[in-house]
Amino acid sequence: MVSAPTRPVDLYPTRGPKEELIGRKDPVVWSEPGTPGPFWARELEEYDRDGFVTVDELVTPDEVDELRAELDRLVTDPAVRADERAIVEPRSQEIRSVFEVHRISEVFGRLAQDPRVVGRARQILGSDVYIHQSRVNVKPGFGASGFYWHSDFETWHAEDGLPQMRTVSVSIALTPNHTTNGSLMIMPGSHRTFLGCAGETPRDNYKRSLQMQDAGTPSNEALTTFAEACGIRHFTGPAGSATWFDCNALHGSGDNITPYPRSNVFLVFNSVDNTPELPFAAPVRRPSFIAARDTTPISR
């Protein structure tokens, strides 16, 4: 008789009857000290301490121009709008995000394999990597809505089955990011504690959560505790700058009610040693365009 495969131990239980605070059980920087790569040692130390690090010019102005032109092409293409990978604003019905953009677009596909990007992901995660998720976020002026406070890992663990905190995101600015146009906010040091959220995950939760987060949202009391302990940092910078941030860092962004648009490309790298299991707190997996099934490592 063949026994059923053993379910991995759930190190980070969430979506139960009440919120839980659980100390991080995984490293933040997984590579050995002195591992070669694009990051300086002091940058990795900053990332380990705060849960994020910024790079002032990850891509050049000419490359930004190419990426911006490609973004404009995507959001005005009727075929892209009709694709399930395009998410629209509830009020304006304008495109808010385009997922799996590294597969839809050759331009963004090249960026996802660029050594300046992939090399930093390998350095943080200490292994080969693959793309768990990619997307462009578009925040036009005059009313584009934000994303409420959350930990990406809480969702990726609960709904995608990632067992460990061995995943890193990079947000690359395609337009200037100001404090006033809905820029990214992070709580420094929040990555050291996992906040298990209360409440069950509805079936096909992603259809709602990509427009407005509900399941997996921390309580006001928990957010106040984290904010008082950690503080809040705004990320601003010119087009081409980038913020690398840990999967468990609490982050969010406000609405953009200014005339000035804000657009970013997000690339999420996961370790090939942290491949998805069954969801830990959801009835079904999310679609592969949101949480990749293909874990083939990006070639060196």
User: How many angstroms separate the CA atoms of 70 and 79, rounded?
Assistant: 14
Q: Is the pLDDT of residue 7 over 80?
A: no
Q: How far is CA 171 from CA 17, 137, 168, 243, 268, in A?
A: 33, 10, 10, 5, 9
* DSSP state for residue 256 in the 8-state scheme: B
* DSSP state for residue 167 in the 8-state scheme: E
**pLDDT given at position 96:** 85
**pLDDT given at position 210:** 57
Q: How confident is the model at residue 207 (pLDDT cuts 50, 70, 90)?
A: low
Q: CB neighbours of 160 closer than 8 A, spacing ≥ 6?
A: 132, 276, 279, 285, 286, 290, 291
Express each pLDDT in 265-295 by its tens digit: 999 999 999 999 999 999 989 999 999 999 9
Mean pLDDT lowest among 102-111, 195-204, 219-228: 195-204
Residue 142: other Cβ atoms inside 10 A: 12
User: How many angstroms separate the CA atoms of 22 and 12, rounded?
Assistant: 7
Q: Is the pLDDT of residue 144 over 90?
A: no
Burial (CB count within 10 angstroms: exposed 0-12, middle 13-18, buried 19+), residue 112: buried
User: How many angstroms separate the CA atoms of 273 and 163, rounded?
Assistant: 10
The half-sphere exposure of 295 on its side-chain side, counting CA atoms within 13 A, is 13
Q: How confident is the model at residue 174 (pLDDT cuts 50, 70, 90)?
A: very high
For 52, the 3-state DSSP assignment is: strand
For 244, the 3-state DSSP assignment is: strand
Contact criterion met (CB below 8 Å) for 167 and 121? no
Please choose, from the candidates 48, 59, 216, 70, the residue with its C-alpha nearest in 3D space to the C-alpha of residue 148: 216
Burial (CB count within 10 angstroms: exposed 0-12, middle 13-18, buried 19+), residue 14: buried
For 183, the 3-state DSSP assignment is: coil
**pLDDT given at position 107:** 98
Express each pLDDT in 44-101 by its tens digit: 999 999 999 999 999 999 999 999 999 999 999 999 999 999 988 777 777 889 999 9
